[in-house]
Chain A
Amino acid sequence: MTRSIARNTSMILTNLEGVPGKEIIEHYGLVQGSTIRAKHVGKDILAGFKNIVGGELKAYTELLQESRKEAVNRMVMQAEQLGANAVINIRFATSSVAPGAAELFAYGTAVKVQ
Chain B
Amino acid sequence: MDILVFLILIGVGYFIGNRRERQHYEDIKRREKGTLHVPIMSWGAKQDLPYAHEAEMFVGSVVVANDYFKTISASLRNLVGGRVTVYETLIDRGRREAMLRMKESAIEWGASQILNVRFETSNIAGQSQGGMGAVEIMAYGTGIR
The chain A residues found within 8 Å of chain B, CB to CB, are 3-5, 12-21, 44-45, 47-48, 50-57, 60-61, 64-65, 68, 89-96, 99-100, 102
A21 touching B52 by the CB < 8 A rule? yes
Q: Which chain A residue has the least Cβ–Cβ distance from B90? A: A54
Q: Is B144's beta carbon under 8 Å from chain A?
A: yes
The 8 Å CB contact of B115, one of A16, A55, A89, A93, is A16
B123 touching A54 by the CB < 8 A rule? no
Do A15 and B118 form a contact, CB below 8 Å, given A48-B126, A51-B126, A55-B24? yes
CB distance from A47 to the nearest CB of B (A): 6
Q: Can you list 16 A-B pairs, Cβ within 8 angstroms, ordered by A? A: A5-B59, A16-B45, A21-B51, A50-B65, A51-B71, A56-B62, A60-B124, A60-B136, A64-B63, A64-B124, A65-B61, A68-B59, A68-B138, A90-B140, A92-B120, A99-B129
Q: Which chain B residue has the least Cβ–Cβ distance from A102? A: B124
Instruction: Write out the residue numbers on chain B whose beta carbons fall within 8 Å of the beta carbon of A68.
Output: 59, 61, 138
The chain B residues found within 8 Å of chain A, CB to CB, are 9, 12-13, 16-17, 20-21, 24, 44-46, 49-59, 61-68, 70-71, 90, 97, 105, 108-109, 115-116, 118, 120, 122-129, 133-134, 136, 138, 140-142, 144
Where chain A touches its partner, the secondary structure class is mixed
Where chain B touches its partner, the secondary structure class is mixed
B49 touching A16 by the CB < 8 A rule? yes
A61 touching B65 by the CB < 8 A rule? no
The 8 Å CB contact of B65, one of A18, A47, A100, A102, is A47
Instruction: Write out the residue numbers on chain B whose beta carbons fall within 8 Å of the beta carbon of A51.
Output: 65-68, 71, 126-128, 133-134
- The CB with the most chain B CB atoms within 10 A, among A12, A48, A53, A56, is that of A53
Instruction: Write out the residue numbers on chain B whose beta carbons fall within 8 Å of the beta carbon of A102.
Output: 122, 124, 136
